[in-house]
Amino acid sequence: MDYVIITGSSGLIGSEAVHFFCKKNFHVIGIDNDMRSYFFGDNASTKRNLQILQQTYKNFEHINTDIRNKKALDEIFLRFTSKIKLIIHTAAQPSHDWAAREPVTDFEVNAGGTLLLLEAARTHCPEAVFIFTSTNKVYGDTPNSLPLVEKETRWEVNEQHMYYQNGIDETMSIDQSKHSLFGVSKSAADLLVQEYGRYFNMKTAVFRGGCLTGPRHCGTELHGFLSYLTKCAVTGNEYTIFGYKGKQVRDNIHSADLVNAFYHVYQKPRCAEVYNIGGGRFSNCSVIEAARICEEITGIKLKTRYSDTSRSGDHIWWISDCRKFCNHYPEWSITHNVTDIIKEIYLYNKNIWA
């Protein structure tokens, strides 16, 4: 039996990956210490996801440890060494707002933890495939310099600027822009994963995601856009829209579609590849469009508040150009659009929040 190590295994992408690879009869080693509850409070805890995984799969093994603990990581990798065929690294401090509160913690988790995992993989299982969930925040606020036009419910790229009609690709510079401290720590990790691929000839892949979402997302105001929006609808809590008239655009990819992309990479790995990944033109929305869809699905009128202050380093318009990945892995495709995603989040969680 092949082994896969998944960090952040109780989080959105991590838990989706556990479900996927357990069903594929891998032995799954999950590393998670529920640090999300430290970042965002008890309401964002991933304990429920962990309980479901432990109750569902005999081939899932949970290890409660911190990815900043070098000794613990070395012991885990040494224990399984030759059996490890895949590492999926999803553990992170995920909020650019939170990063400004504790920059050192943010960098230690996102950059330092990634370095320790890469070293453990290089030392103990250098032939394993290493997949990293990066972020579109590595591009900083450079996307805001695109020629955008304001429409009734969203900002959109100027139709005359044809290069970006399919979204933003991997050629956009990550240099000389305002990233947020979160964007910087993830950029450092992103570059480390690339460098271990190129310098040590490891099979590494970086996924720069737009909005990663799905029903297992423990959304909060600081992170988890669609999940938190739906949660506010059910609980009656007020949802704050930060800046840009609520017309800022995000593409949204379901966690299942993303994990399926990971599996394609595992089957035919390459070296030091970087992919922009998201809902693309198939699955995207502005904040106010998402609110309207949420109201239509739930039948609940959202309580919203508008703040003129936009989040520092935030994107006005982001749609991922996924053509590079689709070219490398033509059998992969996105299966969930925004409406599908919001409906699934609502049905999955309404009994928890109501």
pLDDT tens digits, 31-51: 999 999 999 888 788 999 999
Question: Can you tell me the distance from the alpha carbon of 93 to that of 220, in angstroms, rounded to the nearest whole number?
Answer: 13
Question: Can you tell me the distance from the alpha carbon of 340 to that of 336, in angstroms, rounded to the nearest whole number?
Answer: 6
To the nearest 5 percent, what fractions of the chain are helix, strand and coil?
Answer: 45, 20, 35
pLDDT digits (tens, 9 = 90+) for 251-264: 999 999 999 999 99
Residue 181: C-alpha distances to residues 95, 209, 224 (Å): 9, 17, 18
Give CATH for domain 3-353: 3.40.50.720
Question: Can you tell me the distance from the alpha carbon of 182 to that of 157, in angstroms, rounded to the nearest whole number?
Answer: 26
Q: Are 277 and 322 in contact (CB under 8 A)?
A: yes
Residue 124: C-alpha distances to residues 73, 121, 220, 227, 234 (Å): 11, 5, 37, 37, 47
The reported pLDDT for the residue numbered 353 is 59
The reported pLDDT for the residue numbered 210 is 87
Q: Give every residue of the chain whose pLDDT is below 70, as ranges.
A: 222-223, 313, 352-354
pLDDT digits (tens, 9 = 90+) for 308-323: 988 776 899 999 999 9
Q: Select from 181, 188, 2, 163 the least CA-distant residue to 81.
A: 2
Length of the chain: 354
The reported pLDDT for the residue numbered 222 is 63
Facing residues of 29 across strands? 5, 61
Question: Can you tell me the distance from the alpha carbon of 99 to that of 107, in angstroms, rounded to the nearest whole number?
Answer: 8
Q: Are 66 and 96 in contact (CB under 8 A)?
A: no
The reported pLDDT for the residue numbered 159 is 83
